[in-house]
Amino acid sequence: MNLKDKIRVIENFPQEGISFKDITTLLKDGESFRYTIDKFVEELDGKEFDLIVGPESRGFIIGTPLSYATKKGFVPVRKPGKLPGETVKYEYDLEYGSDSLEIHKDAIQKGQKVVIADDLLATGGTLLSTIKLIEELGGEVVGVLCLIELCHLNGRKHLSDYDVKSLIQY
Q: Which is nearer to ligand ADE, 77 or 120 (CB)?
A: 120
Q: How far is the CB of 9 from ligand ADE (least distance, A)?
A: 8
Given a contact cutoff of 8 angstroms between Cβ atoms, the answer to whether 101 and 54 are in contact is no
CB 20 to ligand PRP: min, Å: 10
Helix (H, G, I), strand (E, B) or coil at 50: coil
169 sits near ligand ADE (criterion: CB under 6 A):
no
Handedness of CA 56, 101, 4, 144 (dihedral sign): negative
What backbone torsions phi and psi does residue 107 show, to the nearest 5 degrees? -75, -30
Residues 4, 18, 41, 99: which binds ligand ADE (CB under 6 A)? 18
C-alpha–C-alpha distance, residues 39 and 71, integer Å = 16
Q: Is 58 an annotated catalytic residue?
A: yes
Is 95 a known active-site residue?
yes
Q: Which of 31, 34, 95, 135 is catalytic?
A: 95
DSSP state of 53: E
Q: Does 26 bind ligand ADE (CB under 6 A)?
A: no
Query: Contact, 115 vs 145, CB < 8 A?
Result: yes
Q: Is 145:116 a contact under the CB 8 Å cutoff?
A: yes
Residue 6 near ligand PRP by CB under 6 A? no
Binding site for ligand PRP (CB under 6 A): 55-59, 94-95, 118-126, 155
Binding site for ligand ADE (CB under 6 A): 18-21, 95, 120, 122, 150
